[in-house]
């Protein structure tokens, strides 16, 4: 049976693509102009009677933006809305990128404006401009969220991208609010009464302001993460975002733990005033707690993903911990060399040494847990492309850093010899790059040895994938079975898998060779896949854009 003619638009020309880019960029600009004008007018309406000096220039600007931006934006949208009745238009990448950009932009502006208005109100200040801007942009956000979900205007490409990006932003806002609120509470507990009296605002106000951001961010994050099920969104980009969140939260938590340990060591071994030593402790403890909560939740979600994503998350944490441990090792060498310079006070090398020990201890423990150096490396482990890329990237970056530090040491050494300075000056000049060089040498040597070992036990690991790329044609790219099949193919072959979606109503129908040309002439589709094998009849699959 011959494949039916599919009513899909023909391939777009460069002119059509440029037209779409210009029109949607213009629509984005007009929406922003109209929002600025409406926000300005709403600001004047809300602040009526409270303004001491009239701003005629501001009123003229708001009126111009509103009178020009709103009608032109509405007219352009009316024109583009009619074109969206065409399925090919909704399948445009430009339309999908416009919706994503506008949703993310409006969410950021609306949430920040409303958050600033609320926190200023808690501090006794009335900010009508921020409130007006927040309300206007919130309306724009709701409008575009509706466009994304309405079948008549919903993009058919990059469907989950705006939700994924919005959830990451909301998580950042919630984390910032939690750290602010917790640090304000801890600061009140750690700082003595003289600092409280000198504070610019009462600590309960700071706690409430942090709680406002926490509530706002958590609400938005829950709405995206759970209600819209972003946590279970399949795809490579979703995995990358999840790995990034796990890595960033782990990095923030490790840095905060290192700072906390540094404060504790200074309290024991340093002679500085306690208030000076305890100054960073409130933010460090709050950051550690919040980062731990974020890391635990997202690590549990990452544990349900495919093996490649889980391995990537572990390697990212290992890399972050390695940077911290190597930095700490370099600072320890720096501090030991600083102790040799008689012109320096004992306070400087001691503070450096305590900081280096803190970073080295926290980073080394985290790296040991993530990398597991004592675990026996199997042939399958050595054949992992992610592991091999990680090793090459680490010792490659170490080599580059080592080369740069060698050049710096060489320059300062020759500068010292030509300047005939004191020997103590040479130590002062080269101790920092020498410490960094020592750390990079250790990192390079270890990872290069591991890479050589992996090459010996799995010499063909780089050629494990006999198939370079697999193209999977499916009628429903969003079907979980399609994602499962794609993952199974990638894991079993090691090849990259590209999913192509067949046009709606397309069927795999074998044809006689003489009928292929005639059948192609009757099909309208952006792309057509023709499968022809020696022992079977050719098949035609019209593909969606």
In a domain, 364, yes or no: yes
CA atoms within 13 A of residue 239's CA, in its CB half-sphere: 18
User: Quick one: pLDDT at residue 10?
Assistant: 44
Q: What is the pLDDT of residue 344?
A: 47
Task: Please report whether residue 186 resides in a domain.
Answer: no
Rounded-to-integer distance, Cα 540 and Cα 6, Å: 12
Please check whether residues 454 and 493 belong to one and the same domain: no
CB burial of residue 366 (10 Å; 0-12, 13-18, 19+): buried
Nearest C-alpha neighbor of 153 from the set 205, 78, 57: 78
489/461 Cα distance (integer angstroms): 17
Residue 141 shares a structural domain with residue 28: yes
Task: Classify residue 227 by burial, with Cβ atoms within 10 Å: 0-12, 13-18, 19+.
Answer: exposed
pLDDT at residue number 188: 81
321, part of any domain: yes
Q: Are residues 373 and 502 in the same domain?
A: no
The whole-number pLDDT of residue 339 equals 76
Residues 391 and 431 in one domain: yes
3-state helix, strand, coil in the chain (%, to 5): 75, 5, 20
Is 213 within the bounds of a domain? Answer: no
Phi, psi of 206 (to 5 degrees): -65, -40
Residue 260 lies in a domain: no
* Residues 485, 457 within the same domain: no
Is 405 in the same domain as 530? Answer: no
Question: Of 431, 463, 495, which closes a domain?
Answer: 463
296 located within any domain: no
| Whether residue 31 sits in one domain with residue 122 | yes
474 and 453, same domain (yes or no): no
Report the alpha-carbon distance of residue 331 to residue 436 in Å, rounded.
Answer: 8
Same domain (yes/no): 320, 422: yes
Query: pTM (2 decimals)?
Result: 0.80
Alpha-carbon gap, residue 439 to 426, rounded angstroms: 20
Regarding whether 491 and 383 lie in a shared domain, the answer is: no
Could you give the CA distance from residue 362 to residue 360 in angstroms, rounded to a whole number?
A: 6
Averaged pLDDT in 10-residue chunks for the chain of 545 residues = 42 74 94 93 77 66 90 93 85 91 96 93 86 94 92 86 94 95 86 49 85 95 92 87 94 95 90 83 94 95 89 93 94 85 61 92 94 85 85 89 91 80 72 91 91 79 53 67 69 67 61 61 65 63 64
pLDDT of residue 3: 42
> If we measure between CA atoms, which residue out of 506, 511, 512, 510 comes closest to residue 528?
506
Radius of gyration of the chain (CA): 30
Please indicate, yes or no, if residue 4 is contained in any of the structural domains. Answer: no
Determine if residue 229 is left, alpha or beta; phi over 0 gives left, psi from -120 to 50 gives alpha, anything else beta. Answer: left
- Residue in 535, 499, 540 with CA at minimum distance from that of residue 519: 540
Last-in-domain residue among 159, 194, 225: 159
Can you give the residue range of the structural domain that contains 320? Answer: 306-463
31 and 136 share one domain: yes
Please tell me the total count of domains within the chain: 3
Distance CA 360, CA 358 (A): 5
Whether 196 is in a domain gets the answer no
The answer to whether the Cα torsion of 199, 205, 207, 213 is positive or negative is negative
72 and 23 within one domain: yes
The answer to whether 135 touches 38, Cβ cutoff 8 Å, is no
Where among 448, 463, 478 does a domain terminate?
463
Q: Note the pLDDT of residue 503.
A: 63
């Amino acid at each position: 049976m011959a494949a039916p003619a599919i009513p899909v638009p023909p391939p777009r020309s460069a002119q059509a693509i440029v037209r779409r880019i210009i029109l949607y960029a213009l629509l984005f600009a007009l929406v922003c102009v109209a929002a600025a004008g409406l926000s300005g007018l709403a600001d004047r309406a809300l602040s009526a009677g409270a303004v001491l000096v009239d701003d005629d220039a501001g009123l003229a600007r708001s009126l111009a933006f509103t009178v020009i931006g709103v009608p032109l934006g509405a007219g352009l949208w009316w024109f583009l809305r009619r074109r969206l009745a065409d399925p090919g238009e909704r399948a445009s990448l430009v339309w999908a990128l416009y919706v994503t950009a506008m949703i993310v932009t409006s969410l950021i502006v609306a949430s920040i404006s409303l958050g600033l208005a609320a926190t200023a109100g808690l501090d006794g200040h009335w900010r009508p401009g921020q409130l007006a801007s927040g309300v206007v942009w919130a309306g724009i956000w709701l409008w575009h969220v509706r466009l994304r979900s309405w079948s008549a205007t919903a993009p058919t490409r990059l469907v989950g991208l705006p939700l994924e990006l919005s959830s990451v932003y909301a998580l950042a806002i919630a984390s910032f609010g939690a750290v602010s609120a917790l640090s304000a509470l801890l600061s009140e507990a750690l700082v003595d009464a003289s600092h409280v009296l000198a504070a610019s605002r009462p600590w309960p106000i700071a706690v409430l302001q942090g709680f406002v951001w926490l509530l706002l961010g958590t609400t938005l994050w829950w709405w995206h993460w759970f209600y819209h099920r972003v946590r279970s969104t399949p795809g490579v980009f979703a995995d990358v975002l999840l790995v990034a969140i796990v890595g960033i939260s782990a990095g923030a938590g490790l840095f905060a733990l290192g700072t906390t340990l540094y404060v504790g060591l200074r309290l024991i071994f340093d002679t500085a005033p306690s208030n000076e030593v305890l100054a960073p402790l409130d933010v460090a403890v709050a950051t550690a707690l919040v980062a731990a909560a974020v890391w635990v939740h997202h690590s549990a979600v990452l544990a349900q993903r495919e093996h490649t994503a889980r391995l990537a998350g572990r390697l990212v944490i290992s890399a972050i911990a390695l940077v911290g441990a190597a930095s700490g090792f370099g600072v320890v060498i720096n501090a030991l060399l600083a102790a040799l310079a008689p012109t320096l006070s004992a306070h400087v090398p001691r503070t450096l040494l305590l900081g280096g020990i803190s970073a080295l201890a926290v980073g080394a423990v985290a790296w040991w847990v993530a990398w597991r150096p004592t675990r026996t490396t199997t042939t399958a482990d050595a054949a992992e492309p992610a592991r091999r890329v990680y090793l090459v990237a680490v010792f490659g970056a170490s080599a580059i850093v080592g080369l740069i530090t060698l050049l710096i040491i060489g320059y300062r050494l020759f500068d010292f010899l030509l300047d005939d300075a004191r020997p103590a000056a040479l130590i002062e000049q080269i101790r920092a790059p020498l410490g960094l060089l020592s750390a990079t040498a250790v990192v390079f040597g270890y990872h290069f040895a591991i890479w050589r070992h992996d090459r010996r036990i799995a010499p063909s690991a780089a050629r494990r994938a006999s198939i370079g790329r697999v193209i999977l044609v499916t009628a429903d790219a969003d079907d979980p079975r399609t994602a499962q099949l794609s993952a199974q193919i990638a894991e079993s072959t090691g090849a990259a898998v590209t999913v192509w979606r067949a046009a709606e109503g397309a069927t795999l129908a074998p044809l006689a060779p003489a009928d292929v040309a005639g059948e192609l002439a009757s099909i309208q589709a952006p792309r057509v896949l023709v499968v022809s094998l020696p022992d079977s009849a050719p098949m035609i699959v019209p593909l969606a854009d």
